[in-house]
Amino acid sequence: MDQNKIKEGVRLLLEGIGEDPSREGLLETPDRIARMYTELFAGMEETPSTHLSKMFQTTNSEMVLEKDITFYSTCEHHMLPFFGKVHIAYIPDGQVVGLSKLARTVEVYARRLQLQEQLTDQIAEALMTCMQPKGVLVMTEAEHLCMTMRGIKKPGSKTVCLARRGLFATDPELEARFFRMLERNV
């Protein structure tokens, strides 16, 4: 990331809204935001294969569900946060991945300028490509601050997205079992 460009952009933004970037309270703001963006957008420099390459052999072919993975991301339309939970299920085909690797994969994609629909699909595609399971289902639930603090101003509203691959796309009972395991009505 180009820290200097970020700092200059923040200075211009402050001037654009009528602030004085040289006043005491704002003097270090460009530097703080540049450091923050390095953290918030760290996924730009990562790939999911880094985390999903370590697999373990298994004879289990039952659904594996990792639910309630908290994520924070930034909407590419307004550059405001959206945040929520990701639920990931997959059907192993001879191998499983460490559970923390699923959460790390979520982080790779969440730490980019993002759309929730795209985030959901990217996670599912990465799991199918890297793990080659029999099927994957990814569900994201998120609140978008662009809907909460501006525009329509509807706090608490949530957007839910699904991405189904493999057996989850063709077997309705498998998808229904996923929802039962999440303790949600199908």
Question: Which residues, including other chains, have CB under 8 Å from residue 144's CB and lie 6 or more apart?
Answer: 75, 80, 82, 116, 159
Of the candidates 8, 77, 95, 132, the residue annotated as catalytic is 77
Which DSSP symbol is given to 23? S
Of the candidates 75, 114, 122, 175, the residue annotated as catalytic is 75
Distances (CA, A) of 49 to 36, 46, 59, 164: 25, 9, 23, 20
Residue 152 burial class via C-beta count within 10 angstroms: exposed 0-12, middle 13-18, buried 19 and up = exposed
161 is catalytic: no
Of the candidates 66, 143, 146, 161, the residue annotated as catalytic is 146
Of the candidates 19, 46, 66, 78, the residue annotated as catalytic is 78
95 is catalytic: no
Of the candidates 51, 87, 114, 116, the residue annotated as catalytic is 116
| Structure-token pair, residue 185 | 């009505």
Of the candidates 51, 87, 144, 175, the residue annotated as catalytic is 144
CA angle 158, 185, 144 (to 5 degrees): 5
78 is catalytic: yes
Which of helix, strand or coil describes residue 105? Answer: helix
Of the candidates 15, 45, 76, 117, the residue annotated as catalytic is 76
75 is catalytic: yes
Q: Are 95 and 56 in contact (CB under 8 A)?
A: yes
76 is catalytic: yes
Give the residue numbers annotated as catalytic, written as ranges: 75-78, 116, 144, 146
